[in-house]
C-alpha cells in the first residue's frame, strides 16, 4: 500500500475515534442523573480493589475478601456519619441562633466601615422599607419567581425519591464493582485494538498512579485538614469552629480555595463572637499551621507530585464539569483532568519525537568545542617567537 492510502486510512481511524468520543460525551450528558450512583460506586470499587487483591494473594477467596473489604468500608462510613451528623446538626442550630448577631455586625460595623472607605451608601439597600417597596414595584416578577419555586418544590418529591433510590443502590453497586472489578478490566482490555495495546497499558498504568494519588491521597489530606482546622478552631473557642473546619477541609481539594474559605469564614465568625484581635490572630494561626502541615508533610507524604495539575486547571475542570454534566461532572472533573494530564504528557512526548517537531532537514551541529580550542590557540603565543 502506498503512502497516500496509508495516510487516508489513518485519517479515517482518527475520525472514527473522534466520532466515538462525541457519541460517548453525548450519552454521558443525557444519562448524567442516572449514572451518578454507578460512577460513585465504581470509584469505591476501584479504591477497594487493591486491598481485595492483596487478600487474595494471601490465600483468601475472592468472595470472602470482597465481603470483608465491603463490610469495613460500610462500617467506616456509618461510624463517620454517626459521629459527624449530630455535631454538624448542633453547629447548624448554633448558626441559626447566631444570625441576629451577624446581622447586627453587618449593619452596625461592616457596612459603615465600607461606606467610610468607598463613599457608597450601602445601608440604604438593606433598609426594610426599601426592600418592601422593591417587592411591591416588582410584584408580578416576584409572583413569577414564586410560581417557578412552587413548581420546583412540587417536583422535588420526585427528586427526593431519586436521591433515596441512589442511596439504596450505592452499596449494592459498590459490592458488585468490588467483586467483578478484575473481570471488568479484562473485558475492557479485550476491546482495545491489538496494535495499540502496549500504549494503552502504559497510559492506563500512569493514569492509575495519578488517580491513586488523587483519590486516595487527596481524600486523606481533606480529612486530615478538616480535623486539624476543626480541632484548632474549637481550641480557640469559636462556636462555629467545627462547621468552618469541615467546610475548609472539604473545599481543600481545590488548591488555595480551602484555606481562603476557612480564613474568611473564621475571621468573620471570630470578629462577631469575640470582637478582638487576639482571637482573630489565633484563628489565622490555626489556618497558617494547617497550611504548613499540608505543604511540608501531608501533601508530599500522601499525594506527592504525580497529579501535576495547576490550580487554574483544577478550578476550570470543576466548573466545566458542573456546567456540562451537573453533579456527575463535578464528581468526574478532577479524575478526568488527571487522566487528561497523562494523555497530554504522552502527546507532548510523541510531538517531540515527530517529524513535525524535528523537521525534514538534518540538524545543523555546531562544533562549539572545536571553535573554543581554535580561539585558545589563536590567543596563545607562538613557540617560534618565544
DSSP string, 61-104: -HHHHHHHHHHHHHHHHHHHHHHHHHHHHHHHHHHHHHHHHHHH
Q: Give 254's DSSP letter.
A: S
Q: What is the pLDDT of residue 263?
A: 92
| DSSP-derived secondary structure for 298-336 | IIIIIITTSS---HHHHHHHHHHHHHHHTHHHHHHHHHH
Q: Using alpha carbons, list the distances in angstroms from residue 138 to 125, 127, 134, 150.
A: 16, 17, 6, 18
| DSSP-derived secondary structure for 149-182 | HHHHHHHHHHHHHHHHHHHHHHHHHHHHHHHHHH
Q: What is the pLDDT of residue 75?
A: 93
Query: What would the grid cell of residue 217 be?
Result: 491521597
Q: What is the pLDDT of residue 353?
A: 82
Q: 216: Cβ–Cβ under 8 A, 6 or more apart, which residues?
A: 47, 302
CA distance 130 to 124: 7
- Give the position of cell 497516500: 4
Q: What is the pLDDT of residue 377?
A: 54
pTM of the model: 0.65
Tell the burial category of 178 from Cβ atoms under 10 Å away from its Cβ (0-12, 13-18, 19+).
buried
CA distance 277 to 267: 10
Q: What is the pLDDT of residue 153?
A: 45
Q: What is the pLDDT of residue 285?
A: 94
Q: How does 220-248 read in b/e, with b if 16+ C-beta sit within 10 Å?
A: ebbebbbebbbebbeebebbbbbbbbbbb
CA distance 321 to 346: 23
Nearest to 311 by CA among 258, 260, 254: 254
CA distance 200 to 213: 20
Please say whether the beta carbons of 107 and 123 come within 8 A: yes
Q: 175: Cβ–Cβ under 8 A, 6 or more apart, which residues?
A: 66, 70
Nearest to 266 by CA among 228, 231, 240: 240
Q: How does 189-218 read in b/e, with b if 16+ C-beta sit within 10 Å?
A: eeeeeeeeeeeeeebbebbeebbbbbbebb
Q: What is the pLDDT of residue 269?
A: 92
Q: What is the pLDDT of residue 40?
A: 84
Q: What is the 3-state composition of the chain as percent helix, strand, coil, each rounded to the nearest 5?
A: 85, 0, 15
Check the CA dihedral 181-51-40-178 and report its sign.
Answer: positive
Q: What is the pLDDT of residue 142?
A: 47
| Other CB atoms within 10 Å distance of the CB of residue 39 | 18
Please say whether the beta carbons of 325 and 302 come within 8 A: no
Q: What is the pLDDT of residue 345?
A: 82
Query: What would the grid cell of residue 156 be?
Result: 422535588
Residue 265, CB half-sphere, CA atoms under 13 Å: how many?
24
Q: Using alpha carbons, list the distances in angstroms from residue 251 to 81, 205, 219.
A: 19, 28, 11
Mean pLDDT in order along the chain per 10 residues (386 residues): 59 74 79 80 86 90 92 90 86 87 82 76 61 57 49 51 76 90 86 80 81 75 90 91 90 79 91 88 92 82 62 76 77 78 83 76 50 50 46
CA distance 180 to 178: 6
Amino acid at each position: 500500500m502506498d503512502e497516500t492510502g496509508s495516510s487516508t486510512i489513518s485519517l479515517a481511524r482518527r475520525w472514527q475515534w473522534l466520532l466515538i468520543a462525541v457519541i460517548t460525551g453525548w450519552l454521558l450528558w443525557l444519562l448524567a442523573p442516572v449514572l451518578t450512583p454507578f460512577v460513585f460506586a465504581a470509584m469505591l470499587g476501584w479504591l477497594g480493589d487493591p486491598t481485595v487483591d492483596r487478600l487474595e494473594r494471601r490465600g483468601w477467596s475472592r468472595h470472602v475478601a470482597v465481603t470483608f473489604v465491603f463490610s469495613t468500608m460500610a462500617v467506616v462510613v456509618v461510624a463517620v456519619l454517626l459521629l459527624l451528623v449530630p455535631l454538624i446538626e448542633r453547629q447548624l442550630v448554633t448558626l441559626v441562633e447566631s444570625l441576629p448577631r451577624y446581622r447586627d455586625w453587618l449593619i452596625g460595623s461592616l457596612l459603615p466601615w465600607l461606606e467610610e472607605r468607598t463613599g457608597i451608601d450601602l445601608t440604604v439597600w438593606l433598609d426594610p422599607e426599601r426592600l418592601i417597596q422593591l417587592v411591591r414595584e416588582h410584584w408580578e416578577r416576584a409572583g413569577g419567581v414564586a410560581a417557578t419555586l412552587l413548581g420546583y418544590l412540587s417536583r422535588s418529591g420526585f427528586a427526593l425519591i431519586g436521591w433515596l433510590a441512589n442511596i439504596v443502590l450505592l452499596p449494592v453497586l459498590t459490592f458488585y464493582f468490588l467483586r467483578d472489578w478484575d473481570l471488568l478490566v479484562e473485558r475492557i482490555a479485550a476491546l482495545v485494538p491489538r496494535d495499540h495495546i502496549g500504549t494503552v497499558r502504559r497510559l492506563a498504568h500512569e493514569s492509575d498512579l495519578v488517580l491513586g494519588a488523587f483519590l486516595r491521597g487527596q481524600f486523606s489530606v481533606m480529612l486530615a485538614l478538616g480535623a486539624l482546622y476543626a480541632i484548632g478552631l474549637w481550641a480557640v473557642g469559636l462556636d462555629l469552629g467545627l462547621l468552618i473546619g469541615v467546610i475548609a477541609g472539604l473545599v481543600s481539594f481545590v488548591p488555595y480555595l480551602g484555606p481562603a474559605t476557612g480564613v474568611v469564614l473564621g475571621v468573620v465568625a471570630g470578629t462577631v463572637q469575640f470582637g478582638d484581635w487576639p482571637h482573630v490572630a489565633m484563628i489565622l494561626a490555626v489556618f497558617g499551621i494547617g497550611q504548613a502541615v499540608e505543604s511540608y508533610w501531608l501533601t508530599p507524604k500522601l499525594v506527592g507530585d504525580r497529579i501535576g495539575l495547576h490550580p487554574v486547571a483544577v478550578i476550570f475542570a470543576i466548573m466545566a464539569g458542573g456546567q456540562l454534566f451537573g453533579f456527575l461532572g463535578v464528581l468526574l472533573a478532577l479524575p478526568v483532568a488527571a487522566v487528561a494530564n497523562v494523555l497530554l504528557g504522552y502527546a507532548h512526548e510523541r510531538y517531540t519525537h515527530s517529524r513535525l517537531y524535528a523537521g525534514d532537514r538534518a540538524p545543523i551541529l555546531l562544533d562549539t568545542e572545536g571553535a573554543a580550542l581554535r580561539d585558545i590557540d589563536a590567543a596563545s603565543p607562538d613557540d617560534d617567537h618565544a
